[in-house]
Structure 1
Amino acid sequence: MPTVAETAPTCIVRGLSFDALAQALARGRTSIFTLNLMHLRLLAQNPEFRESYREASIVTLDSNWLNTCFLRRRMTVAAGSDFVHFLGSRGALRDKSVLVVGNVTPADAARVMASRRLDVVRPPFGFIRDPAAVEDVIARCRALEPEVIFIAVGAPQSEMLALRMRRAGLAEASILCCGAAFEFELGVQRRSPVFLRRTGLEWVWRLATNPRRLAGRYASDAGFVLARLGQFAGLARSGRLRVGGLHLQFRQEAGLEEASVG
């Protein structure tokens, strides 16, 4: 008889190109999450966040550090900020109606993302803990009927909101949870030099430029890894990691045809 560990749900973390991800986003009915180290910690702690990952259409890897240290650089890293830049610079959504949920003005959002129609919903701080505020955000999204939704309110709020949107019947739009991507594109926050990103050291830059906000987060992330160092060491061999009852499988893929979309 299978054990609980053997029957735990599985989430595939996919190595996909930006072109493949853009195709999936434009197709509709797709939720794209970008996994980083903080997300791994939240998966171990937050049941609703874990459920949101179980129901996501596509999960990509958003951590050069994980890729460098534990995955032998075999994965394509698709950071949310880089993907938003790719979509904007290519005009990939210029024929779509787009909605941005986050702390950005319509004019600034339009500077980042060309679209057929662009709307912005700016939820109040801490809205995810207020059922009425969440329902208001969902109702406004439903009324606007966008084809693509960018949720830019940070983890775990973005992913939890995506889950609640789907459960409220918002099925047709594609959703990308993209954290601070719009702030990076607008220059509100500064990205690290490219060589630091590629070597997995972007966290050093971010900590040095914003220590008050990030020191606690990075300390928690480091503690999470140290407590599970044996599991992380095995990740390079197996491509698998078990976090909070969820089995993660890291898999490089050639194209969209191998991804589960829907």
Structure 2
Amino acid sequence: MADYQTVRAGVSGVRTAEIDAGLRAHMNKVYGTMSVGMLITFAAAWALSGLAVTTEPTQYQIGQGEYLTGLGYALYASPLKWVVMFAPLVFVFGFSAMINRMSAATAQVVFYAFALTMGVSISSIFLVFTGYSIAQVFLITSIAFAGLSLWGYTTKKDISGWGSFLIMGVIGLIVAMIVNIFLQSPMVMYAISMIGVLIFAGLTAYDTQNIKNTYIAHAAHGDQEWLGKAAIMGALNLYLDFINMFMFLLQLLGSRE
């Protein structure tokens, strides 16, 4: 009996070690995919903002000696701006609905395409805010995100109950932001930004724990294709948490041109 117990404990220990190693690899893939997506987004936003502004006089002046190019006018001043603004939202809902029909490789390519679309959508930040304040807020967001994600990964507290509350908060934020497009109220925007930071801070911890728990629950099945797609979805969730927290903090802390 003692020998059996020893063997069983040894097998259990080996299995636990395999899951731990697999979890580390899974989380590395999640963070790695997310980081590449972030790089694509900000590179696209920076490059596009450079193409949107000229010193040559045009019909649309945005600052002292600065004018929008034809591309800039189409993106930021014509009705096309609404398409650019809401395209990422449509993209992410479509991606979430169709990912089960994709291979893991296809899902990764689509995620990077989404990151590029998001870069186009937020490119106007380089026209509105100073480069220094964008870099400063990005650093603040990175530190906050790292701390929140680490806490979500290591905490023994079950925070799965936060999910429904936080998702309802996101829906409320979207509605409030749409309404404020017409109201143009600075106070409402300030309140939205404050609440938005808190909601996506909570989602960062929640999503990190959920990614970890999802892997542990399914690791025994050994379905690498499913786990690959789960890593892409995890990267998408954390990417959205970071981008939204960054955008709301930029509204609060950013210095405008």
TM range (shorter): under 0.3
Higher share of residues assigned strand: 1
Higher helix share: 2
What TM-score do the two structures reach when normalised by structure 1?
0.23
